[in-house]
Amino acid sequence: MIGIEDNKPDAVEAMRKACEKYAEFSVTALKTKYPQGGEKQLVYALTGRTVKMGGLPLDVGAVVCNVGTCHALCRAAYEGRPIVDRVVTVGGCVQNPANYLVRIGTPVEWLLDTSKGLLPETKMLIYGGPMMGTCVADLSQPILKNNNAILAFSQERAKLPKASNCIQCGRCVNACPLGLAAKDIVVAFNKGNVELLNQLHADLCMSCGTCSFVCPAKRPLAPSIALAKIMMKNGGKK
Q: What is the mean pLDDT of residues 145-169?
A: 92
Mean pLDDT of 71-99: 95
Percent of the chain with pLDDT over 90: 87
pLDDT of residue 158: 87
* Whether the predicted pLDDT of 159 surpasses 70: yes
**Sheet-wide strand order for 85-92:** 98-103, 85-92, 149-154, 122-127, 134-135
For residues 27 and 129, the model is more confident at 27
- Name the phi and psi angles at 169, rounded to 5: -80, -25
- Does the pTM surpass 0.85? The reply is no
Q: What is the mean pLDDT of the chain?
A: 94
Average pLDDT over residues 86-114: 96
Return the beta strands (E) in the chain as ranges: 2-5, 27-30, 85-92, 98-103, 122-127, 134-135, 149-154
Distance CA 185, CA 227 (A): 11
State how far the Cα of 83 lies from the Cα of 68, in Å rounded to an integer: 10
Query: Which of the two residues, 159 and 117, has the higher pLDDT score?
Result: 117
| Cβ atoms within 10 Å of 15's Cβ, excluding its own | 18
pLDDT of residue 94: 96
pLDDT given for residue 168 in this prediction: 94
- Give the up-direction half-sphere exposure of residue 195: CA atoms within 13 A in the CB hemisphere: 0
Has residue 238 got a pLDDT over 90?
no
Closest residue by Cα to residue 177 from 205, 215, 213: 205
Residue 235: band (very low, low, confident or very high) from pLDDT cuts 50, 70, 90 = confident
Average pLDDT over residues 127-139: 91
